[in-house]
Amino acid sequence: MNLVNNHLRQPDDNHRGLECRTCGCKHFRVVYTRPCRGGQVSRRRECRHCGRRMTTRERVIG
């Protein structure tokens, strides 16, 4: 598999290290954000490249 690995970082995407399992793309659009327990939020994200959706959990800072 020939993945193009560009190291572009977008300022609006602060969730680093997340990678699409389908295409390896690191750019995700947030579909919705939902608060959950422990000061965390659950984010539904959609890959900008292939459209695969996944849910991430992040801690809210500040």
Q: Which residues here bind Zn ion, judged by CB under 5 A?
A: 20, 22-23, 25, 47, 49-50, 52
Query: In angstroms, what is the minimal distance from the CB of 59 to Zn ion?
Result: 24
Nearer to Zn ion, 39 or 55 (CB): 55
Query: Which residue from 21, 19, 59 is spatially nearest to 42, judged by alpha carbons?
Result: 59
Question: How far is CA 6 from its chain centroid?
Answer: 16
Query: In angstroms, what is the minimal distance from the CB of 8 to Zn ion?
Result: 15
**Of all residues in the chain, what percent are helix, strand and coil, respectively (each to 5)?**
0, 40, 60
Nearer to Zn ion, 40 or 49 (CB): 49
Q: What is the rounded CA–CA span in Å between residue 41 and residue 27?
A: 19
Query: In angstroms, what is the minimal distance from the CB of 3 to Zn ion?
Result: 11
